[in-house]
Amino acid sequence: MEQNFIVEKTVAFVKETLKDAEGGHDWQHIERVYNNAKNIAETEDANQLVVELAALLHDIAEPKFNNGDEEKGPAMAAAFLQDIGVDEAVITHVQNIIRYMSFKSSFDAPVFTSIEMQIVQDADRLDAMGAIGIARAFNYGGHKGRAIYDPAVPAQTYTDKAAYKNSTAPTINHFYEKLLLLKDKMNTETGMRLAQQRHNFMLVYLDQFYKEMNSSL
Ligand code: ADP
Ligand code: NI
């Protein structure tokens, strides 16, 4: 099967499936992750098709919008890829990436890894950082009806997966729960370099945020 054909079919499937998705998990997010993943893969020795398909399909049924069902995404991806005749080994690899790449999976002992997963994970994490990451966080917080900031709810980090998942803290706290931790969790050299720049921007943003919040400009 022609790789270009497989990727084109997958793009069309993902666009259609995510047409009503929340703004931080929509086709534009997928397209950015797809492009970042391809860029990172240029400096790594990785299976290009697996990287591209996993980037395209990684949020096809994000558990947090599917009653916590962590198997719906891998199952949808596999059904689609089987339908267009992709090799079983590629399908299994893509499924494992979708299953294990998320930030919340990093609370569990690692079950699966591969360079392809590391690349897609870096690409996804980059999109949770910097200017876009900030926009996505506030969009998600708004979608969930969360406060922007509440001085009575101190920010914290979590060591427990359930506590992290159940957090309903104001969106500014999410910077400390996750966004500022990402730069030290990057896998690839390229990912680390890009993450540092986005991390620095978030620090500048937070500094300005608190100055404005405290009327201390
Ligand atoms: P991952 O796939 O790495 O587990 P998520 O799906 O949890 O990532 O996050 C995707 C996007 O939603 C990110 O931009 C993230 O910052 C945002 N997001 C997730 N949880 C929250 C939250 N509690 N508050 C604000 N934004 C959030
Ligand atoms: Ni994603």
Centre of ligand 2 from the C-alpha of residue 73, in Å: 12
Provide the CA 142 distance to its chain's centre, in angstroms.
Answer: 18
Query: What is the arithmetic mean of pLDDT over 125-138?
Result: 98
Centre of ligand 1 from the C-alpha of residue 137, in Å: 6
Per-residue pLDDT tens over the stretch 55-114 = 999 999 988 888 888 999 999 999 999 999 999 999 999 999 999 999 888 898 899 999
**Predicted ipTM?**
0.94
Q: Any idea what the CATH number is for the domain that residue 9 is in?
A: 1.10.3210.50
Structure pTM? 0.95
Per-residue pLDDT tens over the stretch 133-145 = 999 999 999 999 9
Q: How much is the pLDDT for 199?
A: 98
The answer for 5, left when phi > 0, alpha when psi is -120 to 50, beta otherwise, is alpha
Has residue 13 got a pLDDT over 70? yes
Residue 207 CB: number of other CB atoms within 10 A?
10
In a mutational test of the pocket of ligand 1, which residue from 136, 165, 171, 183 has the highest number of ligand atoms less than 8 Å from its CB? 136
Domain count, the chain: 1
Has residue 216 got a pLDDT over 80? no
Tell me the pLDDT band of 1, cut-offs 50, 70 and 90.
low
Q: From CA 146, how far away is CA 22, in angstroms rounded?
A: 15
The boundaries of the domain holding residue 187 are 3-213
Q: Which residues line ligand 1 (CB under 6 A)?
A: 24, 62, 102-104, 124, 128, 133, 136-137, 140-141, 167, 171, 174, 178-179
Q: How much is the pLDDT for 154?
A: 92
Ligand with smallest separation from the Cα of 132: 1
Q: How much is the pLDDT for 130?
A: 98
Looking at 24-129, list the stretches that DSSP marks H as alpha helix, in order from N- to C-terminal side: 27-41, 48-57, 72-83, 88-100, 115-126
Centre of ligand 2 from the C-alpha of residue 29, in Å: 7
